[in-house]
Structure 1
């Protein structure tokens, strides 16, 4: 077998990414076709760079050693607008492999001086219409290379000579605009031509000017104007470079979009649309001059580190019911984020209305959980046959109502386009229980729905904020299922920028001054603010990216300093604003922070855990002094936790699932005796609750792990496979296709819980999927970037088989196990460059190397036959 390296990946970018922001991008590659026992002894890296005018530079670099993930750039830093091609050879100690395929990226505008474009837009409008902007330009010769660099105050979509540019949605996304404004890069070489050309730009309110937040929210938070920042650079066949930059002289005019909001939807009147508006032939005599704005002096135009939002899937209705003539209710079979695409016809002036909701009540859309979000799109027809979808809105829904429809609703007339950040899928789970399989799919869809440029809490109501606590508890699951590091790197940079400005890790990023947070002291809110320490740690474990740890270290240190100041010399977090074990199912519906577990117990437990993880981060980075300081601090907090929250005999004063779980997983028990007793008590609490969950945001991610570590695997499975309310599988049996915000968002009597805070698409409580991957399937990283893997499945409950697959930085890692009367059969796959430990019940751990390995192990097993068989029949 001949080892063959893959095309290299640059940083965390997708292949062929345009407009990257790194002058010296790190490289990663896989190795295919290697014989068992393969070791990379060295690599050769060939670098080919090309300028827009076609000037090329080639170099070859010898890299000794086994590194193949995030390898430092071996060549000279590149300039703006450089096309980079890299390929790799590897040496296995006996011979050099053939050259692998080329990997490609292209840098964007790396220097602020590269920008000549200025923000331009329509004059202020009393009716709030977003308007459009256009410019014409002449090219003396055919183009050979053309790039459009595009950003906006608001949202923007471009057309060149009557054709849409690219397939990205909601450009430029949502960043902390006061600090960072992202731009996108598009290849428009095939759309421009010699002679006259036109560039047209649609504008939308988006996050810049639109309504944001809950309650009354805020409007026009970042500005009361809309503007586009567009720089078109063309190299023609004669080698001449032409730059068309937004600025004075550009024109603005009215378009068909009457209103555009992320919450309320889009209103479009096609009677005011002229398809020629973005062509040079268009007569723009009725258009006026643009208003020229300035960039915020504290904000920088930055290249993306992650993928854009795109349509990642299309859903056809699984049912369509005509409730009355012309009014249809459609079920797409899956809750998701997206918007409708319709094929329609009718007389000019005829209006179609599209409403969206997550659930039905009595066959009709139940919109109360949307709160004030209208989630309604309106289309006024122009008398022609049209294919249309909104441009600058996104909804969270499973069901849609179509009103004003003429004639039958045929297949393909209305489809739902699923919008999400185009993060690659990297993790899969499978098992013998269809209910658990559906639960895992719900987790996947919850992530897909809420990764819409920023990691939001929900995609449907008047909120959709980047809540830090939700992401913190879900990050391990997210990092297994999707390649989220690029997306979250951008978000963490925003977090650090907001933190530096506010001297506080806010509960959501980007931060908005929303009551009640504007009226509360800026206290360190545990679980939520701990994202500054714990999420970079999770991403480093998943990818081996120590540079990300280094970049976020000041933010992590600043967070712990804030917690330490608030706790004082007693090292116990008291007298601060805390959300605690948010949405504990026993908390009153109207007061979800009033959990049964003391919120200061939760905060102090997290204080100890965050200090310990920051110490580990510091050790990784060679910051030994900081590591020692944090290790001492973590020990002091653990001692304080025992004094304050444990009885003299070592039991938690709060006898709850969350208290026992946090103490177990965060290592807060004073000794082995109390740890064992705590584990036994946690198992008793689960049995006393008949398998019902009793944890919120803080306890849920750790409760199954706590039971497993304490040796009570069957109680963990009992929690997992319970179908009583509250439980994960209760939601599945109620028809959930995503993870709910509340355990009982739909109560056993079929009624919907308090609509002021009942989202049917929140991923936080789906953090249990991390345990499914690591413990049920038995696949976990044992070294950063999966350089070493732990296979340690722990069968239980009624499962007879399970497995997981992960696309690690080194290649595919996989495990499958099944039970038979004679014992447990296990098969694992280890990619080249990786070693693994196989730890099966009842057997000593075994070390294995690259390759496919099978094991047979007798496993005594006495499953707890609770209500699972009936549940499977119900599904």
Structure 2
């Protein structure tokens, strides 16, 4: 039976507050049959859940498209809810029932829809340098119990809202971090259940956050503004169709709250004795509060929430309560995590307790915080007394595994503490496991590195005085991240900020949102995020709109490079990070030995190549031809500059070889010599990598594409320094910034730049999925509409299993080897097809289930290649068994 499932609008399930003018819907097909393809579909839209009156119908559309179907003829209105449903027909002309209805609801679409004013605590109450956080309050009368109630809110700084004594929504660190001068997100909340007939009250907490607080490593504050403020509007709709609006304005009041200090890096200080209990409930006496001040701030920059919200995702109980050799009391959470501690205590009024969060113990087993640099990561709580009380922060987060406790006394119980894991609430889409437990821990570490660093923006690290959206780290990891989670809304929002912060000449700041100096922009491999990230999202999700959205930014970056220096085909000017943290760096240098001109020109070529493909996809034929010519000339210039007449790469480093091969810059004898050189360099290093941030993500991919999977496995399975598994043997639970963050003797690489949660080297996850499990894209059919499954067993692995939830459904690849037999189970979602490659197989010996391939339903064709069998599959679940090496 064929059914339509998992309806989504702009990747989201039943979203409220959308501002996309032409929403796109997606659905998945489910069937127990094989070889299922959609022949046609029909969509209906109504403003009523029972579809008695159809507002819009697509009619029967003959198309296989089931992802990102744009409702181009529908013109949605502000705050209107739309219900939709889908039915499809397969290629046998069998139709489904209508899907279960789903909906989306628009937000405030125009500036004129806003009656609310920006309000701030008066300067006479809290000056711009005051660290104490304000509370705001307003009240209103509802004429009756409303049929529908919506709240739309944002802030300069961070906010939390309460309505009639209860928290509104489950998002944290709202409104998130954007290029605040140009874009500010608005959150929409369904508050129908919280509104009472008659008296109602709203209370707000405001914090500095990214807007006003301390950012980066030189103690800068007020980068975006010096005053926190709130903008909030409530719409009540009654059964008779009448409406009532309540909004922030001059009649609101403000008071200094119990949060004495709140900074993202430094933590929070909270004095429970200063709590103003009940301030968000009706009837509260705010006669002693101050009138708010109105701020003349723009509403033109307001956009609806684009990314998924930051939410509480997991809870972790402490693994152990330690007493260090130095006498410190420390909780070990057992996992390097990001979020905060929730705790309970019973203490006399005025007793102060502190929690200092950090990542590692030193080699003597004592508290180590030097690698946090100036970030304090400290929570200070002052008890109100009178019984058991509990606390968790609001406007800060910490990166930590360990927590030093002071002031709690001797009667400590780990049960009173819970670690709250916080990150953007992205759907988990990927899983990988294999027969090697160290690789499984590595996969765990990659996932937790993504959790910890995808807190509204893709940060470099979540613990020290940095936590910035470094462009290089993002582009290095994006493909891996798209296996692990649905990152399309997350990166789509971040890329809009990249466009907003991109310089007029096309240069790209090192970090997005941009908070560094005016000259901190446009390093090769960092600025290339402007091109690599949109193309990767398009490939992984089939989302053409992302390319349309980002094309001016992509083109701006390429044209910026083109204008640098004397030769438009070489990039040999500017300041670059190079192969950051490469192990072949000179002493006291962070840059690896690979020539930065080679790196810059190689990435220039790659970005031009991707831009040419993007222009092709968008139908910009003339520009596609221009960039095809430009790419060929950059390639020629690269060969003139960096390849000797005999075909030798003039820069003899692992990273130089990797980039030349990965970006297709060498051909023929030069390609063969470059591959041989890479293998020789690996051999000379005892088959260890020397690559840094630039070379590492591509190293194993290049080796496997060149047919040297044995070398790739050797690298992956090394357990001594430097290797991915060295970190695992040292107890890592996330990915480290440095290969030797902790040395063999237990000492540290450095205190200045030594994060133990830094996802860049986690890009090896790409290799696990693409080459070990074998789940790979077909570039010509993005979003996994047609895809490849090509597992490549090796090393000491006896089995591997991976799954990926795509926009069409779940892809699965599981293989195992016992004795001389291989078994491979795969899943191909309905409305897709796959090219399957069975390694070391002979066509006559391959069985699917209990039958030969020519008898198997869903097998469209099978052919013997040199060392493998290629099988074209329709949708369905399959199980292949064959004897290894039996070619006849």
Q: What TM-score do you get using the length of structure 1 for normalisation?
A: 0.94
Give 1:476 shift. 0.5
CA contact (8 A) 1:356 1:365 kept: no
Matched, 1:847 2:883: no
Of the three residues 808, 815, 818, the one matched with 1:817 is 815
Matched, 1:703 2:704: no
Match of 1:144 in 2: 147
Deviation per CA, 1:244-292: give whole Å up to 9, x if none.
Answer: 1111111001111101100000100010102211112211111011011
Give 1:603 shift. 0.8
Give 1:186 shift. 1.1
Match of 1:223 in 2: 225
SS at match of 2:355: strand
CA contact (8 A) 1:327 1:404 kept: no
Match of 1:794 in 2: 792
Is the alpha carbon distance of 1:760 and 1:324 closer, same or farther for their aligned partners in structure 2, counting shifts above 3 Å?
A: closer
Matched, 1:162 2:165: yes
SS at match of 2:70: coil
Match of 1:724 in 2: 720
Cα distance between partner residues in 2 of 1:98 and 1:770: 39
Matched, 1:663 2:664: no
Cα distance between partner residues in 2 of 1:28 and 1:416: 36
Single out whichever of 760-769 and 843-852 deviates more from structure 2.
843-852
> How many pairs align?
848
SS at match of 2:746: coil
CA contact (8 A) 2:331 2:414 kept: no
Give 1:170 shift. 0.4
Match of 1:454 in 2: 457
CA contact (8 A) 1:421 1:451 kept: yes
Cα distance between partner residues in 2 of 1:49 and 1:111: 21
Deviation per CA, 1:291-311: give whole Å up to 9, x if none.
Answer: 1112247x5110122210001
Match of 2:118 in 1: 119
Deviation per CA, 1:551-598: give whole Å up to 9, x if none.
Answer: 1000000100011111543522113111111110232574212x1111
Single out whichever of 111-120 and 229-238 deviates more from structure 2.
229-238
Match of 2:510 in 1: 507
Matched, 1:172 2:175: yes
Instruction: Mark the runs of 5 or more structure 1 residues left unpaired by the alignment.
Output: 862-875
Matched, 1:28 2:31: no
SS at match of 2:795: coil
Cα distance between partner residues in 1 of 2:235 and 2:52: 17
Cα distance between partner residues in 1 of 2:732 and 2:414: 25
Give 1:224 shift. 0.9
Match of 2:543 in 1: 545
Of the three residues 711, 736, 745, the one matched with 2:732 is 736
CA contact (8 A) 1:30 1:810 kept: yes
Give 1:45 shift. 1.3
Single out whichever of 453-462 and 123-132 deviates more from structure 2.
123-132
SS at match of 2:193: coil
Any residues of structure 2 matched to 1:629-644 within 5 Å, and which? 629-644=626-641
Any residues of structure 2 matched to 1:16-165 within 5 Å, and which? 16-49=14-47, 58-62=55-59, 63-73=61-71, 76-92=74-90, 93-124=92-123, 125-126=126-127, 127-165=130-168
Deviation per CA, 1:609-644: give whole Å up to 9, x if none.
Answer: 111111111111111111111111111111111111
Is the alpha carbon distance of 1:775 and 1:486 closer, same or farther for their aligned partners in structure 2, counting shifts above 3 Å?
A: same
Give 1:820 shift. 2.1
SS at match of 1:844: strand
CA contact (8 A) 1:34 1:832 kept: no
CA contact (8 A) 1:326 1:406 kept: no
SS at match of 1:6: strand
CA contact (8 A) 2:643 2:670 kept: no
Give 1:501 shift. 4.9
Any residues of structure 2 matched to 1:602-613 within 5 Å, and which? 602-613=599-610
Give 1:49 shift. 2.0
CA contact (8 A) 1:589 1:754 kept: no
Any residues of structure 2 matched to 1:478-493 within 5 Å, and which? 478-493=481-496
Match of 2:381 in 1: 379
Deviation per CA, 1:167-217: give whole Å up to 9, x if none.
Answer: 110010000000000011111111111111110000000001100012x14
Of the three residues 534, 537, 540, the one matched with 1:536 is 534
Cα distance between partner residues in 2 of 1:180 and 1:456: 19
SS at match of 2:296: coil
Give 1:810 shift. 0.5
CA contact (8 A) 1:61 1:74 kept: no
CA contact (8 A) 2:133 2:258 kept: no
- Output the aligned Cα RMSD: 1.9
SS at match of 1:845: strand
CA contact (8 A) 1:843 1:857 kept: no
Cα distance between partner residues in 2 of 1:660 and 1:857: 37
SS at match of 1:569: coil
Give 1:738 shift. 0.6
Cα distance between partner residues in 1 of 2:715 and 2:476: 18
SS at match of 2:635: helix
Is the alpha carbon distance of 1:48 and 1:568 closer, same or farther for their aligned partners in structure 2, counting shifts above 3 Å?
A: farther
Cα distance between partner residues in 1 of 2:348 and 2:718: 55
Give 1:411 shift. 4.7
Deviation per CA, 1:325-350: give whole Å up to 9, x if none.
Answer: 99631111111110010111211101
Deviation per CA, 1:769-807: give whole Å up to 9, x if none.
Answer: 101110011001112010011011111111111121000
Match of 1:263 in 2: 265
CA contact (8 A) 2:357 2:400 kept: yes
Match of 1:692 in 2: 688
Match of 2:560 in 1: 562
Cα distance between partner residues in 2 of 1:309 and 1:492: 18
SS at match of 2:868: coil
Match of 1:872 in 2: none
Give 1:726 shift. 0.9
Matched, 1:445 2:448: yes
Match of 1:575 in 2: 573
Of the three residues 369, 372, 382, the one matched with 1:370 is 372
Cα distance between partner residues in 1 of 2:219 and 2:783: 41
Cα distance between partner residues in 2 of 1:284 and 1:405: 34
Matched, 1:182 2:185: yes
Is the alpha carbon distance of 1:327 and 1:657 closer, same or farther for their aligned partners in structure 2, counting shifts above 3 Å?
A: closer
Matched, 1:395 2:391: no
SS at match of 1:846: strand
SS at match of 2:462: coil
Cα distance between partner residues in 1 of 2:366 and 2:271: 27
Cα distance between partner residues in 2 of 1:815 and 1:565: 46
SS at match of 1:29: strand
SS at match of 2:246: strand
Is the alpha carbon distance of 1:570 and 1:170 closer, same or farther for their aligned partners in structure 2, counting shifts above 3 Å?
A: closer
Cα distance between partner residues in 2 of 1:137 and 1:117: 14
